[in-house]
């Protein structure tokens, strides 16, 4: 009976240890994911900058038109 209990506890502990381990990724995999994220961020920033430039240009044009009507 004692052996069964010890074996059961050992197997349970071993299973918990294996189940709770975090997946390991290689340094290359990490760097690749980081680079992909940096590229996506850069593309989004370029898009945002283009939008800001369009809004600024439109605003400047409208301000000039309003000042010209006075």
pTM of the model: 0.54
Give, in degrees to the nearest 5, the angle at Cα 35 between 31 and 24. 30
Residue segments in the chain with a per-residue pLDDT below the cut of 70: 1, 19, 22-23, 70
Q: For residue 29, what pLDDT is reported? A: 87
Euclidean distance between CA atoms 50 and 56, whole angstroms? 10
Q: For residue 12, what pLDDT is reported? A: 86
């Amino acid at each position: 009976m004692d052996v069964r209990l010890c074996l059961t506890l050992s197997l349970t502990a071993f299973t918990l240890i294996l189940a709770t381990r975090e997946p390991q990724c290689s340094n290359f995999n990490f760097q690749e994911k980081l680079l992909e994220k940096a590229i996506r961020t850069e593309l989004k920033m370029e898009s945002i900058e283009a939008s800001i430039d369009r809004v600024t240009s439109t605003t400047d044009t409208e301000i000039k038109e309003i000042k010209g009507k006075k």
